[in-house]
Structure 1
Amino acid sequence: MQKWTQDLWKAVVAEVERLHGSMNQKQTSMENLSQEVLESKKFLWEELEDVQAEMRLIYQKLKDQEVDITRNLVNIKKLRENQVRCTKFLAQLRNRGDASETVDHKPGNNKGNDDVCTHCKSLSSYSIRSEKSGPRMRKQRSHPHPHPKASSPVSFMSDSALHQHRGNS
């Protein structure tokens, strides 16, 4: 009976040791798994932060493009207005030119008018090209702000032509 008790006791001790070893293995596995989960979570947070930073950058680029498109549309509108003014002024100059040609037939007398006509025609053709290209106009990197006199429809006129234009307006 004593031998049987010792054998039983040995079997119970062996089973307890086996269970204890198994439990240690499972605990180690759980710790490893927990560490992997924490590392994955940290990696995912870093990735999320990177994606958020990229989204902010893309959003800012879109806002910048929106501002550029709006600025281009305003510039196109100004060009159209300048084209209309130049066309009206050109018509006035031509009407005056036709009247003065009957009085004075000397070539070169209308030199100022010819310069204005040439400038208005080039501005007109530029404006038409701008309309066709629409919001895809190239951004002027070297001169982002046009010269203040360039926006005025009469800034290119000679003093006498300017005086005549203002006198008739």
Structure 2
Amino acid sequence: MPRPKKVSDFDVLNAALEVLTEKGAGFTLSDVASRVALSRATLIQRFGDRDAILHRMARHEVDTTRAWLAELPVNRGKDNLWRFLVEIVESMGSGEGFSARVAIAALEARDPILRACANERYQLVQAAIAARLTDHQHAEEIAVHLHALIAGATMQWVASDERVPLPTFVLERLETAFKWLPID
């Protein structure tokens, strides 16, 4: 009978995310192993290589996003959509550790599995935005553009000298565009 795991896969994935935040995309299995007090060989046995851990992290993020969105009420109308967008933006946190998100985006650009997971996550968010629009004939297109505005504003925040919390920065930009939306 196999020995019980002292460190869960979830703990390993969280540690890998922490290491990615600290060291960037060049982190190693040894870095992760050290963080969770396991041997590199144990990580290889459980996960395979570093890319396999990244793929599991991405899959976990998709599953977490799906579960989180499923828990939220689907109330339609412009005011309810705005509240939902605020919730999405605030869920990103203050921006501390956002460098990991940038490193992950760089990895997603190069790795087809990571890119597919990112696309699936984006599709989930966009569908959730569209679901909160009234029966607008362009709900999907509006959702794609609102999501793109959020994503673009987060990248602007990274490059900005303005050191306000990430949600403040993003919501200021989103609010301006939101006012112009042709929805009720």
- TM-score for both structures, normalised by structure 1: 0.27
Q: Which has more radius of gyration?
A: 1
- TM-score for both structures, normalised by structure 2: 0.25
